[in-house]
Every structure is written in structure tokens, then in C-alpha cells.
Amino acid sequence: MTPTPNSITPNPATPYLVVDQFGAFVGRHSERLQVRKGNELLQEAPLFNLEGVIIASHGVALSADAITACADAGIPIHFVHASGRISASIFSAGLTGTIQTRRAQLEAAHTRHGFTLAKAFALGKISNQAALIRYLAKYRKGIKPDLHRELKQRADEVMACAAQLRALSGHTAEEIRLQLLSIEGHAAEKYWEAIRLVVHVPSDWKGRSGRGATDPVNAALNYGYGILYSQVERAIVLAGLDPYAGFIHADRPGKPSLVLDLVEEFRVPVVDRTIFAMINRGTKLEIDSENLLVQKTRRAIAENILARLDKPECYERKKLALRHIIQYQARHIATFLRGDRAGYKPFIVRW
């Protein structure tokens, strides 16, 4: 049966099932998941090809058979609110049973290992911000030399923050947290100033805001980050790590601190670049009366973010899809914490 225009049909190379229709029902049929609304088949996906299920609408029902099949196959189910917040995630119980890695992770909060990871995560974010500014600048060198010079200056200012970050000394992540967050915030100011110069945001756009965004640009970024969070959380759990024991982000009940830490390396190459490209291509980002993205916009963002995750980037002398790089980085965190790896290097994109 041909899917309706309101559904997302997974690309065979993009093994995620996204369910974004109110009233949809996800069930299991043989070795496949099926998404139905009433008697209409909207989507179906083979279990062997799936790496994740994203529920991106309220009013979606899942059968016990579908949940069990996903758990048995190690396929996580993520519930993403229209604001980009992850409401819940379902993982196989066996994936959370590792002990050695988690003990090392908890001990690292009081050792040099946590200090090293905190600096690396922040360095990855800041370096990727500078890289994107330079990438946007190089295409304007011949046609807009003044803009090119201004962007290069902003990129240099962001990298100056990276130098400050490298110079931080201490023994634990806690010792440098406030300094690190201050440096990261200063780099972000320069980054968003540069973005305003080249991305076709509204003239009255007030800049970046996280929770409670009231404009389409920030709402789109938040939603994109929500999809990225789900991919990073999956990678962390598969690596045997605790998503809630981070190093930059402070411990708080219900706060997936390590997910938020590792996401920093991938915000720019996965989400920012994708959303900025959509805006500059003229994609209309729409929000409703509650400042939430409408279904059509959420669907477009999900499709573009998932496609971006499948794009290859240079990594350890080879080309790998970004979603695989995320998994490798999570494993590198685990091996570093256990003492099986000498250090940890953040993922820094090369454009």
C-alpha cells in the first residue's frame, strides 16, 4: 500500500522509523513494524534494518508486541516532544546491565579522567563552531570580501576561546566547570553573531534561546537537537555508559548529563548546519499558536536531520556516516574511562 503524504517513509539507508501522526498505531507484523491509522497502512519497516524508533507526536499508540520486539532486537524507542524535549526512552533491560564501565564512569567525577573529558567535549563544540563559520566564509571570499573578512575574524575569536579552554588547569571536572561554561558562553556569543550575518533569519530575530523558544528558528534548532539527543543517548547506552552521569553538565534528577555532554561535539555538524541550510534554501519553518512546530515542519526537520546523520565525514583516516561516528565516540569514552585508551579526542569536523 502506498504511504500517504502525511507519513515519513524510511530511506533504506536511514534505519529510523519516525511516527509523527496523531492517532497512529505501531504494531508488529511478522518481523516488521507497521504503522497504521484506522485501516490505512502508513509505514512498515523490517526489524533487522531498524536502529531506532522516534515517536514524534502525541496520540500515538504502541502494542506490547511492538515494544517487546524492539527490546529483543536492541532497538530503542524515543518519545520526542514537539519542543524537542525527550519525554521518555525505552531500551532493552540488558543494555543497562554493564558494571565495569559504569563504575569507572562514576569514579571519573573525582579524577583527571573527568577533567579530560569535560575539556574535550567543550573543545569539540567550540572548534566545530569555528569550522562552520570558516566554511560559510570561504564561499563569500570572491563575491563579498568584506563579509568574508568579518566571518574570518569571528572564527578567530571563537578559536581564541578554544585556546583559553586548553589552558585550563585542574584535577577534576568540578574544579573547572564554571570557567569552562564561561568560555563556552563567550564562544557561543561570537558564533551566533556570525550566523546572523550569513543565515537568512528574520531581521528581528533576537538570537539563540533554548527552552521556551517562541520563534521558528529556535524552535527548529531545539527540535533538531531533540532528534540528535535520541541518537546520542542510544550510542551511550550501547557503549555501556550511564546517560545521567556527565562531566560538564551538573548532576540533577532526570537530567541526562552525559548525553548533553557528548551532544556538544555534534550540535554544529548535525543540527546547526542542517537547519541553516534549510533556512537558506527557503524552507518555511512554521509554528502554531502555542509556539510549537507544525507537523509539516517537524517532518521536514526529521527527514533532513536523519539524512544528515547518514552523510559520511572524515574520521580516523576513513569516511564514516555521522551516526556511526557518534557510536565510535561513545565507545571511546568507555574505553578511556576503563583505562583501555590513553586519551579521548573530540570529533572535530573537517570542511
* Domains in the chain: boundaries: 16-75, 100-338
Question: pLDDT grade, residue 95 (50/70/90)?
Answer: low
Question: pLDDT grade, residue 2 (50/70/90)?
Answer: very low
Which homologous superfamily is 16-75 in?
Answer: CRISPR-associated endonuclease Cas1, N-terminal domain (3.100.10.20)
pLDDT for 49 equals 86
Question: pLDDT grade, residue 253 (50/70/90)?
Answer: confident
Contact yes or no for 171/115 (Cβ under 8 A)? yes
Share of the chain above pLDDT 70, in %: 95
Question: pLDDT grade, residue 96 (50/70/90)?
Answer: low
Question: What digits encode the pLDDT tens for the residues 265-298?
Answer: 999 999 999 999 999 999 999 999 999 999 999 9
Q: Is 254 left (phi over 0), alpha (psi -120 to 50) or beta?
A: left
Question: pLDDT grade, residue 11 (50/70/90)?
Answer: very low
The H-or-E segment that residue 77 falls in is strand 77-80
100-338: CATH architecture: Up-down Bundle (1.20)
